Structure 1
Amino acid sequence: MRLEWLEDLLAVIETGSFSVAAHRRILTQSAFSRRMQMLEGYLGAEIFDRSRKPIRVNEATLAQTDRIRSLVHDLRMLAHDLKQHERTLHRRISIACQHSIIATAGSRLAKDLLARQDLTVRLHSANFDECLGLLLTNQTELVLVHLASTIPLPARPDFFEILPLKQDHFVPVANAAVAQLVGTGSVPHIAYPGDIFLGRLFDREISSRVNPAITLTAQVETALTLAALQMAEEGLGVVWAPLSLCRTAIAQGRLLNLSDRLPQCPMELMAIRLSGSKTALEDEVWSILPEIRL
């Protein structure tokens, strides 16, 4: 059984709602439901009353709320103490990066830290919501993510310390053949799922600003920006991506920046950590982040 399953259950008990609990836990509704099914499978007992709409925690489970809350607290403290001992002993820092960042800023950060410090760096690659989930569950000490003003953090801001690191832009790119189609009516488009950060950013900042004379036709959908850029190079369509990630391909002529014909928007690379007390190593790494060229 996983600790986060019990944390998920507590969220349902405290909010009384699957959808609100999923939002609190930074999970999609389907992913949250799967985790609750896995918890029931592990326990071998039903914990929800599915005869009622909406589904609710059943009375037998509600009667165990104090025991569940105590168990979650004890497991959190045990995991925290063991991880802190290991990290302090081995001078290890764990950093989670969005998939679109791991190959650029994430690798440069790891290289610089290893050159400056006597430590070990563990890098995790995940989507935006998963990065914050790793942070909130103390599975990483630091995350690097892109943020935009129109997409707030899906948790209370006072949970976090946020350090701006670098300005970036969400730009449209395509190979030369696809670029010639822009302005002719239908343009093939490589899309992101609407439930990931770049998909939400596209929906809020880009789609409504596309010239009405241009029709973006989704040819393929992927959650991986590096894969989307490779598809763009092969002519599958135009894709929006962080400029920092496609700058080399643009400089080499493999992709064209179409910001003069299609909308783009600003974004910013941020470092985020949880508020509260930190180890000396965590503060050491945090303090030198602004000095590193990302």
Structure 2
Amino acid sequence: MRLEWIDDILAVLDGGSLTRAAEKRLLTQSAFTRRIRLIENSVGATLFDRRRKPVSLMPGIQSLEPELRELSTRLHKLRHVLKTANDQTGKSLSFVCQHALTTTISPRIVQTLTENDDISIHVRSGNQDECLLNLISKQVDFAIMYSVPGDEISSIGDAFEAKTLGTDTLIPVCAPSVRNKITSAALPVIGYPPDVFLGQVFARKIAPRLPKETTLVTRAETALTLAMQQYAMNGIGVAWLPHSLVAASLATGQLQRADSTLPSQELTIRMVRFAVAQSEYCEQIWQSFDALPLDFATLHY
């Protein structure tokens, strides 16, 4: 039983519904619902009574509230003690990245931070909701995430603060065998689920700018950008992927750009932290990103 799962259950107890619990955990309702299904599948038991509206915990689970709260408190305390003990023996830092950025940005950050400092760095990967939840639960010190220019504040809320590291572009790419199909009315595409960040970017910023005569035919759907890149190289359809991720495939000719006829979208790369008091070392790292010898202002690949 993972600590965040216990906190999810307690959030439902405190909020009285999945909707309020999702708000407390700073997750979309669909993302929180997926988490609930994962918890039930993992423990092999039904925890929530879906016959009632709003959905609530089963009576037997509600009776375990004292034990769940005690366990949550003890595990949070243990995590803090372990982290403190580690900090006393050596410098450590943890951060989480949106999936695509784990591949493209995190290696450069880890390389730079470890070159001139005796530091142990722990890197996680997740979607945007999971990144923010990791910050709130203090499982990580920082998060590296995408945002849409002009929408930076509303995308994370007042509980966080952020600084810009650089820019990227979500561009349409495809295998050479698919390139001649782009002008057809029925465009084969590899899509994102609508509840993930890049899926929302596509729906709000790209889809409205597609040629009016174009009809999208979704051949496959995935939230994993690395999988989508492979699908595109296999000729399944057109995919909108971060330029930083596909630059090498473009250079070798495995993929071709299609943004001469299809729209693209600029993205901002930001470093985010929870707006609470930080350790002295984490504060030093945060401030050091203003002077890191990395060309994050405009990414070149």
What is the TM-score with the length of structure 2 in the denominator? 0.84
How many matched pairs?
289
Is 1:230 paired with 2:202? no
Shift of 1:97: 1.4
Partner of 1:106: 106
Is 1:240 paired with 2:240? yes
Ranges in structure 1 where 5+ consecutive residues have no aligned partner: none
Greater shift in the superposed pair: 204-213 or 70-79: 70-79
Partner of 2:3: 3
Shift of 1:230: 2.2
Partner of 1:84: 84
Q: State the superposition RMSD in angstroms.
A: 2.7
Shift of 1:227: 2.0
* CA contact 1:182–1:214 (8 Å) conserved in 2: no
**Matches of 1:226 and 1:282 in 2, distance apart?**
30
| Equivalent residue for 1:293, pick from 292, 295, 300 | 295
Greater shift in the superposed pair: 193-202 or 125-134: 125-134
**Residue type at the aligned position of 1:85:** A
Ranges in structure 2 where 5+ consecutive residues have no aligned partner: 297-301
* CA contact 2:147–2:155 (8 Å) conserved in 1: no
* CA contact 2:90–2:118 (8 Å) conserved in 1: no
Is 1:126 paired with 2:130? no
Which SS does the other structure have where 1:228 is aligned?
A: helix
Shift of 1:84: 2.7
**Matches of 1:236 and 1:50 in 2, distance apart?**
38
Partner of 1:204: 204
* CA contact 1:135–1:273 (8 Å) conserved in 2: yes
Shift of 1:171: 1.2
Shift of 1:236: 1.4
**Matches of 1:216 and 1:110 in 2, distance apart?**
39
Greater shift in the superposed pair: 223-232 or 53-62: 53-62
Which SS does the other structure have where 1:254 is aligned?
A: coil
**Matches of 2:47 and 2:216 in 1, distance apart?**
45
**Matches of 1:153 and 1:70 in 2, distance apart?**
35
1:87/1:34 Cα in 2 relative to 1: closer, same or farther (>3 Å)? same
Shift of 1:223: 1.8
* CA contact 1:23–1:154 (8 Å) conserved in 2: no
**Matches of 2:252 and 2:52 in 1, distance apart?**
60
Partner of 1:18: 18
**Matches of 2:91 and 2:213 in 1, distance apart?**
56
Partner of 1:260: 260
Shift of 1:164: 0.9
Percentage identity across paired residues of the two chains = 30
**Matches of 1:20 and 1:82 in 2, distance apart?**
31
| Equivalent residue for 2:39, pick from 27, 35, 41 | 35
Which SS does the other structure have where 1:28 is aligned?
A: helix
Shift of 1:79: 1.5
